[in-house]
Amino acid sequence: MNGTLQTIPLMSLALVFVPALITIGILFKWSLNASNALYALSRMLVQLMLIGYFLTYIFESDSSGVVLVIMAVMVVASSWIALGTVADRRMQLYRYAFISLLVGGGFTLVLVTQGVLVLDPWYSPQSMIPIAGMIFANAMNSVSLAGERLNAELSRSVPYDEARSIAMQSAMIPVINSLFAVGLVSLPGMMTGQILSGVSPLIAARYQIMVMCMIFGASGISTAMFLMMVKSELTRT
């Protein structure tokens, strides 16, 4: 197998937008807020093009300070985005989301990068930034789902401990489903990318095991911390 990942020409890349635009057309036909989906698609394109140039600069700079700043931005932004499902309480709960993601995600990140991969240097941008992104993004999604479900259960006057259990279970469903599906229903992004670039499937599988465990762990720890810390805030009379 060729060890060099194939470069996709821009004209060829444009073809992948065909099914996306068909979906936009369906949403428009069914009056399902196609403009929002189109905006999201356009924003994704711009963001990924910009991050491509930005990461090229970061990798070439090889600076620990820059890497730490980027990870700090990830935590700040993910904490804010996570509370979009409870926007009316965003400011009230922000510090809890921030601490949860920082501790749960940060602990997992350190364990993976310094204990499993043993990065050299410890801040290696090519590994640290993508791994941090996966950890904080998935933990963010779980906290977001937990916040939405907890708020819904409390609004129905469900006792807090019961609402917390329901919220935790709901938040972990996507992560647990991905554990069931990996290798059977889907080949995740990291494994697929490594195989396409010529890495042995057996080695790629080890890396994917690491990724699945870190996502499950970071999501679970962050969500549990969030649900425990917000109790005093949400049950205050």
| Range with lowest mean pLDDT among 28-37, 155-164, 169-178 | 28-37
Percent of the chain's residues with pLDDT above 70: 97
Residue-wise burial string across 53-63, b where 16 or more C-beta atoms lie within 10 A, e elsewhere: eeeeebeeeee
**In angstroms, rounded to a whole number, what is the distance separating the alpha carbons of residues 127 and 129?**
6
Which amino acid, 221? I
What is the structure's pLDDT at 6? Answer: 67
Q: Which two tokens stand for residue 63?
A: 């600076």
Phi first, then psi: give them for residue 138, nearest 5 degrees: -70, -40
According to DSSP, residue 199 is labeled: -
Q: Which two tokens stand for residue 232?
A: 């005093």
Which residues contact residue 135 at a Cβ distance below 8 angstroms, ignoring those fewer than 6 apart?
A: 105, 108, 109, 112, 214, 215, 218
Which amino acid, 43? R
pLDDT, averaged across the chain: 92
| Alpha carbon of residue 164 to chain centroid | 22
Q: Which two tokens stand for residue 180?
A: 């069931």
| Alpha carbon of residue 82 to chain centroid | 10
Cβ 99 vs Cβ 85: under 8 Å: no
Residue 237 clears pLDDT 80, i.e. is over it: no
Which residues contact residue 225 at a Cβ distance below 8 angstroms, ignoring those fewer than 6 apart?
A: 99, 100, 103, 104
**What is the band of 1 on the pLDDT scale with cuts at 50, 70, 90?**
very low
Q: Which two tokens stand for residue 190?
A: 């990291």
Cβ 174 vs Cβ 145: under 8 Å: yes
Mean pLDDT of 175-195: 84
**In angstroms, rounded to a whole number, what is the distance separating the alpha carbons of residues 172 and 185?**
19
Cβ 133 vs Cβ 54: under 8 Å: no
The whole-model pTM stands at 0.84
Which runs of consecutive H residues, i.e. helices, occur in the chain?
Answer: 10-14, 17-29, 34-61, 64-82, 90-110, 125-155, 160-181, 189-196, 201-229, 231-234
Residue 91 clears pLDDT 90, i.e. is over it: yes
Q: Which two tokens stand for residue 39?
A: 């905006």
**In angstroms, rounded to a whole number, what is the distance separating the alpha carbons of residues 232 and 77?**
24
